[in-house]
């Protein structure tokens, strides 16, 4: 299980949102490049970077900062936010990103996402399946910076994309994101059984080292950790150990 420390960027600043709500932002007086270097020095192999401005508006507002990290820090970067077309996708690739996170674009145009898969390969992209429970207690996909709840169910979309040959899936339980309430272990256990061939990255809610042990037991391929590291709940060195 890989640990992906996360850096969320808004207006060039390191921030965290609660449940993806742009009005519930916590800022950290940290330099993104220095933070990325500290994670690499601690031993992380991967870094997860989100352009929150891009996710909301479609503009790659923080791409320059992501490019600086990708080219100046000895770490593989997984990044996304604002990928609405193949041109957006290639901008991240050209910036030195190892794996591009594709969310709303893939959900709304699966055929275009499949074209990216064929052209660039399964290891070049991660499908972001961000979801929250609806009134019927069904997890449904949220898009456009988590502001729009689509009709498609998480289960169906994961199975369809996995069958198409997509390998990497970032699954976020939105209602736990940034809340330090613990990850939805039962959800990831369910998804692992549903698509055992898929490499699932868990995201949202990690608050302590016990959470990591539980997720490893479930068999997720990786865990994205943001707020818990930024708030000093535990160190990246402890997480990697």
| Strands 139-143, 148-153: pairing kind | antiparallel
Pairing of β 99-102 and β 76-80? parallel
Strand, coil or helix: 131: strand
Produce one character per residue of 165-192: b if its CB has 16 or more CB atoms within 10 Å, e if not: ebbbbbbbbbbbbbeeeebbbebbbebe
Q: Would you call 130 a catalytic residue per the annotation?
A: yes
Residue 155: count of CB within 10 angstroms of its CB: 17
Give catalytic status of residue 231 as yes or no. no
Candidate list 51, 53, 130, 173, residue with the active-site label:
130
Cβ 150 vs Cβ 143: under 8 Å: yes
Q: Which residues pair with 4 in a beta bridge?
A: 224
Residue 125's H or E segment, with its range, is strand 125-133
Element (H, E) at 199: strand 199-203
The HSE-up count of residue 22 (CA atoms within 13 Å, CB side) is 14
Set 8, 51, 53, 177: catalytic member: 8
Beta strands at 99-102 and 148-153: parallel, antiparallel or unpaired:
unpaired
Active site (catalytic) residues: 8, 130
């Amino acid at each position: 299980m890989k640990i992906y420390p996360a850096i969320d960027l808004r207006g060039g600043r390191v921030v965290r949102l609660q449940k993806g709500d742009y009005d519930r932002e916590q800022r950290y007086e940290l330099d993104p490049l220095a933070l990325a270097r500290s994670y690499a020095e601690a031993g992380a192999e991967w870094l997860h970077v989100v352009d929150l401005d891009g996710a909301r508006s479609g503009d790659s507002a923080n791409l320059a900062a992501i490019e600086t990290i990708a080219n100046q820090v000895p770490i593989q970067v997984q990044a996304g936010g604002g990928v609405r077309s193949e041109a957006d996708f290639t901008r991240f690739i050209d910036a030195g990103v190892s794996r591009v996170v594709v969310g709303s674009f893939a959900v709304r145009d699966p055929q275009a996402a499949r074209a990216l898969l064929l052209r660039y390969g399964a290891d070049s992209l991660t499908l972001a399946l961000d979801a929250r429970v609806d009134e019927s207690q069904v997890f449904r996909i949220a898009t456009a910076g988590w502001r729009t709840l689509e009709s498609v169910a998480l289960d169906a979309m994961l199975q369809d994309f996995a069958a198409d040959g997509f390998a990497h899936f970032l699954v976020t339980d939105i209602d736990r994101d940034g809340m330090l309430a613990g990850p939805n272990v039962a959800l990831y256990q369910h998804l692992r059984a549903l698509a055992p061939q898929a490499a699932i990255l868990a995201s949202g809610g990690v608050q302590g080292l016990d959470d990591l042990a539980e997720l490893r037991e479930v068999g997720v391929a990786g865990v994205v950790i943001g707020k818990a590291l930024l708030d000093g709940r535990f160190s990246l060195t402890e997480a990697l150990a």
